[in-house]
Structure 1
Amino acid sequence: MAGKIRHQLHLSEALSERFEKLAAKPGANKSAMLEEALEQWLTRKGHHDLDDRFGLRLDRITAALSRIERADHILLESFALFIRYELAIHPPLAETDQAGRAKGRERFNLFIEQVGQAVASGRRTLDTRGEGGR
Structure 2
Amino acid sequence: MKPRHHLYLDDELSTQLEALAAKPGTTKSAIVADALRQYLTRRGAKGIEEALRIRLDRQGRQLERIERDVQVLLESLALYVRYQLTVTAPVPEPDRAAHAVGKERFQKFIDQVGRQMAAPTRTLSASREGTA
For normalisation by structure 1, the TM-score amounts to 0.73
Alignment of 1:48-59 (within 5 A): 48-59=46-57
| CA positional deviation for 1:50 | 0.6
Corresponding residue of 2:35: 37
Unaligned runs of 5+ in 1: none
State the identity %.
42
The residue number in structure 2 matching 1:101 is 99
Higher helix share: 2
Bigger mean CA deviation after superposition, 90-99 or 110-119: 90-99
Match for residue 113 of structure 1? 111
1:11 maps to 2:3: no
Tell me the CA shift for residue 32 of structure 1: 4.1
* 1:44-69 Cα distance to aligned partner (Å, 9 max, x none): 32331112233223321221122112
Q: Which residue of 2 aligns with 1:69?
A: 67
- Aligned-partner Cα distance in 2 for 1:5–1:118: 68
2:47 matches 1:46: no
2:57 counterpart of 1:79 = no
Greater RCO (Cα-Cα under 8 Å, separation 6 or more): 2
Task: Work out the CA distance in 2 between the residues paired with 1:49 and 1:7.
Answer: 30
- Which shifted more, 62-71 or 35-44? 35-44
Name the CA distance, whole Å, in 1 between partners of 2:84 and 2:70: 21
- Which structure 2 residue ranges, 5 or more long, are not aligned? none
- The alignment of Structure 1 onto Structure 2 pairs a total of residues equal to 127
Aligned to 2:129: 129
Q: Distance in 1 between matches of 2:102 and 2:114?
A: 18
Distance 1:119 1:5, change over 3 A: farther
SS at 1:34's partner residue?
A: helix
Aligned equivalent of 2:21: 23
> Structure 2-normalised TM-score?
0.74
